[in-house]
Structure 1
Amino acid sequence: MAEILSLDEAVRRYVHDGATVAMEGFTHLIPFAAGHEVIRQRRRDLTLIRMTPDLIYDQLIGAGCVKKVIFSWGGNPGVGSLHRLRDAVEKGWPHKVEILEHSHAAMACAFEAGAAGLPLAVLRGYVGSELPNVNDQIKFIECPFTGERLAAVPSVRPDVSIVHAQKADRAGNVLVEGIIGVQKEAVLAASRAIVTVEEIVDDLDTHPNACVIPGWAIDAIAVAEKGSLPSYAHGYYPRDNRFYKEWDAIARDRDAFTRWIDDNIMNTAEDAR
C-alpha cells in the first residue's frame, strides 16, 4: 500500500545506484521535481526508460546520473535536439551513455506487457525499419496460429517507476486527468513505484472513466506542488513554453548547463524539501 513520504525520503528509499528507472508522463505531468531530486541525491549508473525523453532526461544525463537510455524519440519538443544526450552519446561527456531506441508503438506495447507480467510484447511493426540493425532487442517471431511474421521486444519491468499526477486520496489512490500516456502501465510494471502529486485530498471526486492508479500498486506518494513544471498539469497550471526554448541555449554549452544545475537544483535542496 502507498505510504505518504517526503520526496527526499521516497527517492532515498527506492531509487538506488544502478537501478532501472522509468519516469513517465506524456506532454504534461512529466515528473520534473522527482527527477531533480534524483540529481540532488547524486544517483549514478541509472538505466532510464521513457517514451519521448525530453528535458528531464537531458538534465539527468548531463548531471552524470545515467549509463543507459531505453527510449522512443528523444528531443526538446518544438525546439530540437537534447544536447546533453547528444554530448554524452557522441563525445562521452560527462561520460558515455548507451542508447537503445524503439518505436513509440513498441515502447507502449512493452510497458503494457510489463504491466501484465509478460516477458515480451508482440506487435506488427518495424517492417522496413533500420532500427533492428542497431537494436538487438528487436526480434521477429512467427505466429503459431497464422504463420504471420511479427516483431517482438522485451517487456519493460523497471526497478522503480516514477510518475506525476494531479492528486491522491488518503488511501493512496491516484487520479490522472487530461492526456493519458503509459503512467498506469509504468506503475503496474515496476517492482516499486513513486507518485508525486499536486495535492492530497479526502475524495478524488472523479468519474468512472477517469484514470485512477490504485494505492495497492504504489509504494510512495509525495506532494510536489508544480512538480511537473516546465511541462503542465491539466487543471493546475500551463506549460512554460519559454523555458523549453531557453533550454536549447542552456544545454548546448557545458558550462552554462553546469551553472544551471547548480543554481536551480543542487543549491535549492532545502527549498525542494
Structure 2
Amino acid sequence: MVNFLPLKKAVAETLHDGDTVAFEGFTHLIPTAAAHEAIRQGFSDLTLIRMTPDLIYDQMIGMGMAKKIVFSYLGNPGVGLLRRVRDAIENGFPRPIEVEEHSHAGMANAYEAGAAGLPCAVFRGYRGAGLAAINANIKSITCPFTGEVLAAVPAIRPDVAFIHAQKADRKGNVLVEGIIGIQKEAVLAAKRAVVTVEEVVDSFDDLHPNLTVLPNWTIAAISIVPGGSHPSYTHGYYERDNSAYLEWDEIAADRDRFQAWMQKNVIESSADDFAARVKHLRKAA
C-alpha cells in the first residue's frame, strides 16, 4: 500500500543527492511545494528533468542544487527568461550546469518510452532543427520496414518523480483532472514517485474507474498539501497567480534579492504555508 506521509518525510525518504529527478507539471499542477521542500533539505548534484522548466527549476538551480538540466523550453511563462538558469549557464553562478535540450516531442516520447520500459524513443522529429548538432543524445535510426530515417532519443527513467494532483482516495489511487501533460508517464517511468494532493477523499466509487489516472501501486508516497501547486493553478481548486510570475522576473534578476526571497519564502517557510498563499485565488470546484 502507498504511504501517506508529511511532505518533509516523503521527500527525505525518496530523494537523494546525485539523483535524476523530475518535478513534472504542464501549465498547472506544478509541484511547487515538493520542490520547495527539496530546497529546504539542501540536496545537491541533481539532474533535473522537465518538459517546461519554469520558476521551481529557476529556484533550484539558483540555489546550486543541480549539476545538469534536461529540458524542452526554459522560461517564465508569459514573462520571459529564467534569470537564475541563465546566470548558471552563462556565468557558472552559483555553479556551472550541464545542459541537454530537446523538443517537446522529444521529451514526451522519451517519457513514454521510459514508462513502457523501452531503452529509447523513436519518432519523427528534429527535421530542419539544429538541436542534434549540439545534443549527442539525439540520434537517427533507419526503419527496418520502410527505410525512413527517424529520430531516436534515450528513454527518460528518473530515480524520482514528483507531481501534484487534485485528489487521492484512502487506498492511494490518484485522480488528475484538466491538463494532464506528461505527469502520468513521468510517474510510470520513475523508480519512485511522490504525489502531493489538494485533498484525500474516501473513494472514487462514484466515478468511472478509468478516471483513476494513477493506481496506488505506481506511487511510493502521497502528501496532502492544499495549495501545493501555487503559483501555478490547480483545475477546480484555485486560479493561476499571474502576479507571482511577473514579480519573479524582478526577484530573480538580482542575485542578492533572489537569496533574500528564497530565505524568507522557502527556507524559513513550510508546506503548511501554501494553503494561505492561494486563499484569495480559490474558486468553486
Q: Structure 1 residues 270 and 74, CA, compared in 2 at 3 Å: closer, same or farther?
A: closer
1:217 to 2:190 alignment: no
1:186-238 Cα distance to aligned partner (Å, 9 max, x none)? 00000000000011110234335535211000000001110000000000000
Structure 2-normalised TM-score?
0.93
Once residues 249 and 59 of structure 2 are traced to their aligned partners in structure 1, the CA distance between those partners, rounded to angstroms, is 12
**Unpaired segments ≥5 residues, structure 2:** 275-285
Matched, 1:110 2:110: yes
Q: Does structure 2 retain, via aligned residues, the 8 Å contact 1:28–1:228?
A: yes
Contact 2:173 2:212 in 1 (8 A): no
1:81-115: CA deviation from partner (whole Å, max 9, x where unpaired)? 00000000000111001110000001000000000
Q: In 1, are the aligned partners of 2:225 and 2:271 still within 8 Å (CA)?
A: no
Please, which moves more after superposition, 260-269 or 44-53?
A: 260-269
Aligned to 1:196: 196
1:181 aligns with 2:181: yes
* Residue 32 of structure 2 corresponds to residue 39 of structure 1: no
Aligned to 1:53, the other structure's residue is in SS state coil
Q: Distance in 2 between matches of 1:210 and 1:171?
A: 15
Instruction: Give distance in 2, aligned partners of 1:169 and 1:136.
Output: 43
Query: Structure 1 pair 211/112, CA: closer, same or farther in 2 (3 Å)?
Result: farther
1:259-270 aligned at under 5 Å gives the runs 259-269=260-270
User: What's the C-alpha RMSD, in Å, of the aligned pairs?
Assistant: 1.3
1:22 is aligned to 22
Cα distance, 1:2 vs. partner?
A: 1.4
Deviations 1:116-172 (A, max 9, x none): 000000010111110001100000010010010000000000000000000000111
- Give distance in 1, aligned partners of 2:106 and 2:154: 9
Q: How far, CA to CA, are the matches of 2:255 and 2:226 in structure 1?
A: 29
Q: What per-residue deviation string (whole Å, max 9, x for no partner) do you get for residues 53-87 of structure 1?
A: 00010011101111100000010000000000000
Amino acid corresponding to residue 138 of structure 1 in structure 2: I
Partner of 1:92: 92
CA 1:2–1:270 in 2, change beyond 3 Å: closer, same or farther? closer
Q: SS state of the match for residue 265, structure 1?
A: helix
Q: Provide the rounded CA distance (Å) in 1 between the counterparts of 2:25 and 2:212.
A: 13
Aligned length: 273
- Between the aligned residues of both structures, percent identity stands at 64
In structure 2, relative to structure 1, the CA distance for the partners of 1:270 and 1:197 (3 Å cut) is closer
Maintained 8 Å contact 1:229/1:239: yes
Tell me the residue number matched to 1:72: 72
The 2-side partners of 1:210 and 1:238 are apart by 22
Please list every run of 5 or more consecutive structure 1 residues that lacks an aligned counterpart in the other structure. Answer: none
Tell me if structure 2 keeps the 8 A contact 1:177–1:211.
no
Counterpart of 1:256, as a letter, is R
Measure the CA separation in 1 of the matches of 2:62 and 2:142: 41
Q: How many angstroms apart in 2 are the aligned matches of 1:85 and 1:271?
A: 27
Measured after TM superposition, the shift of residue 180 of structure 1 is: 1.2
- Whole-angstrom CA distance in 1 between matches of 2:208 and 2:232: 25
Aligned residue identity for 2:184: K
Displacement after TM superposition at 1:272 (Å): 5.4
Letter in 1 for 2:34: A
